[in-house]
Amino acid sequence: ATPTALLVGTGRGAQLGILIKGPEVLESTRRVDTVVLDKTGTVTEGRMSLVDVHVADGVDAAEALRLAGALEHASEHPIAKAIAAGAADRVGELPAVDDFRNEEGLGVQGLVDGKAVLVGRDRLLAQWGLSLDDSLTAAKQAAERAGRTAVAVAWDGSARAVLVVADTVKPTSAEAVAGLKSLGLKPILLTGDNADAARAVAAEVGIDDVIAEVLPADKVDVVGRLQAEGRVVAMVGDGVNDAAALARADLGLAMGTGTDVAIEASDLTLVRGDLRAAVDAIRLSRKTLGTIK
């Protein structure tokens, strides 16, 4: 490929809302056969809202919201923002938190009103030796099968509530997935979220392969494993927890609407956060390099 042709390609990229780190990036873009897509903030808007509160018998829903909202107020996670905002709307001012701890990919814990409180996944509950009762388990599973994310709230030594947050799939995601498939690429959805929730989102956009319940630190290993199978992997993500995987991938694509860390780790930035630009990028690289080979 001549440098001039590559530079023409990058200029066209800018017009399409794609920022390319260097002209050489187009070459790896052309060879990609597998596209790993982060769920939250990439396929979905990543703007969640609190939609349901389920409590165990005898538990006050306002109390669950006060404690969970206070704790999540200290976190930047999209789930946390949804819970803190939803709680503040419903119960007003939230109490202060002591000894706050963020358990990456699992949830949060800390002291609120002198009580030890946890909000997060079953795995975090299990670390406290706790589990949800049958009725809360049923509520959580129903929410997850509907593609929502449900987290447990525990305090005073037992799991007492389930909070459900909903995100929406971006209106352009299904078209983008269809575009990737039409280029002969295999899309795979990758997420730390629950498998049922992940499969519901995957079905909505037309993705058949789902890798769920992956801890943030393990996303990079998933990319490595696909490469070891001989795949040339593009990874599309937006979060701090995607950065290592974006760097490891043969081609890293960051959502321009995402975090700086993700953008820095990537070869390409989809400026408007529209997944269809990933399809344009791959088509462009094939066209640019195809015409000059």
Of 157, 222, 169, which Cα lies nearest the Cα of 200? 169
Residues that bind ligand ADP (CB under 6 A): 39-40, 72, 75, 77, 79-80, 105-108, 119-121, 149, 151, 191-193, 216, 239, 241
- In angstroms, the CA 283 to CA 249 distance is 19
267, 25 in Cβ contact below 8 A?
yes
Q: Binding string to Mg ion for residues 230 to 269, with x set by CB under 5 A, is what?
A: --------xx------------------------------
Q: From the CB of 117, what's the least distance to ligand ADP, in Å? A: 11
Examine the residue annotation and report whether 38 is marked as an active-site residue of this protein.
yes
199 contact choice in Mg ion, ligand ADP, none (CB below 5 to 8 Å, kind-dependent): none
Residue 193 or 250 with smaller CB distance to ligand ADP = 193
Residue nearest to ligand ADP (CB): 192
Nearer to Mg ion, 179 or 192 (CB): 192
Per DSSP (E only), the strands in the chain are 18-20, 34-38, 49-55, 97-103, 107-112, 115-120, 149-155, 158-166, 186-190, 209-211, 233-237, 251-255, 268-270
Is 30 or 199 the residue whose CB approaches ligand ADP more closely? 199
CA angle 156/193/137 to nearest 5° reads 45
Cα Rg of the chain (Å, integer): 21
- Give ∠ CA 97-102-106 in degrees, rounded to 5: 125
From 38, 193, 196, 280, active-site residue: 38
Give the interface with Mg ion as residue ranges (CB under 5 A). Answer: 38, 40-41, 238-239
Active site residues: 38
